[in-house]
Structure 1
Amino acid sequence: MTNIRGHINPAVTFGLFLARKVSLPRAIMFMVAQCLGAICGVALVKAFHKTYYETYGGGANELAHGYNKGTGLGAEIIGTFVVVYTVFSAIDPKRNARDSHVPVLAPLPIGFAVFMVHLATIPITGTGINPARSFGAAVVYNKEKAWDDQWIFWVGPFTGAAIAAFYHQFILRAGAVKALGSFRSSSTHV
C-alpha cells in the first residue's frame, strides 16, 4: 500500500487501486468522501458567491459548442492520463531511490501537470479530470446542461487513469526491471 496523502480525485484513486497501491475498501471510501467533499465545496461557493455562482453556471462542466462528445471524451482521457501518470512518476519509490540526489517535492510536478491540462482542456470541456469536482457541481447546480454530458466526466477520467496505471506499472516499470536485470547479468560476466 502506498503512503499517499491528500486523495482529492477519484480518477487518481482508481489508478492507484488498479496499481494495487490502495485497497478496494479504502478506494471506495476515498471516492465517496471525495464526492461528498465536492458537493460541500460547491454548496459553500453557492452560499458565499451566489452572483458569480449563477453567472458561471455553478461551475458545472459541459461540452463546449463546436466540439462533439468524442472530442470531449478524448480530451478527458488524455488530460487525466497526463495527471495520473505524473502522480505515479512523482510518487514512484524506485524513482525516489534512483534520483535521491535531486530533492523533488511531488506536488510541484503534479500541480504543473494539472495546470498544463487545464490550459489544454478548458476550451473543450471546462476541464473535468476529477469526477468528484464535476459531480459536485452538477448535484448542487442541477439545471440546464449540468447533467447532459456528465458521463464524459466519469468515463474519460477513469479510462485515462486506467491507461496511466497500466502504462506505468506494466510497461515502464516492467521495462526498467528487465533492463536492470540485463545490466546486472552483463556486469557479472565482466
Structure 2
Amino acid sequence: MNRAESGPGRDRDDEGRARSARPRDGLGRPLPYGAEGVPRQPEGVVREPEETLREAQRLLDAGMPFHAHEVFEDAWKSGPASERDLWQGLAQLAVGLTHAARGNTAGGARLLRRGADRLTGGPELAAAAGYGIDAAGLVAWARALAERVGGADAGAGGAGTGDAGAGLDAAAEAPRLRSGDSR
C-alpha cells in the first residue's frame, strides 16, 4: 500500500480500512512519506502470552514503547475477555512511557496512572501472576514515573501538555514486565 494507491485523503489497506502508510520513528511519531522509519509492528498478530511478553519487553528495552503498545493491543483484542484489563493496562503503561519520551509529560503521566489503575484489582491480577508479570512492581514503577515526569497534578491537566520534543530516555526508563527478567 502507498499513498498514491489510497486515493485522495487517507491511506487504506487492501480491504479499504484506514491504515497510515507513513513511516514512523522509534517512538511512533509519523515521519514524512519517503523518509526512513523503523519497521512497523504487524497488526492483528495472535501470540501466546509468553511470546507477547517477550516481544513487548524486547521493544521496551530497545526504546520503542509505542511498538510495545501495539503488541499489547493485539493481546487484548485476541485474548480472553477476563484478561482485557491486564493487556489494556500494560498497553497504557507503554503509551504513557511513549508520551513522556516524546515530551508530553502531562499526557504521559495521565496514561501511566490509568494503566497502573487497571493493574490494581480484579481478575487481571490473577492472570498477571499466572504469566509471571510483576503487577505490583509495574504499578509502583508507573506511579513513580508519573510523579517524576508529570507531578501530582498532571492527571488534572497540569503543565507540560505539549509534544514539543525531547523527553526522557525510553530505553533507560523501560520497566521490567516480570520480576525475573534482567536487562
The alignment's TM-score, normalised by the length of structure 2, stands at 0.26
Q: Which has the larger radius of gyration?
A: 1
Structure with more relative contact order (C-alpha pairs < 8 Å, separation 6 or more):
1
The alignment's TM-score, normalised by the length of structure 1, stands at 0.26
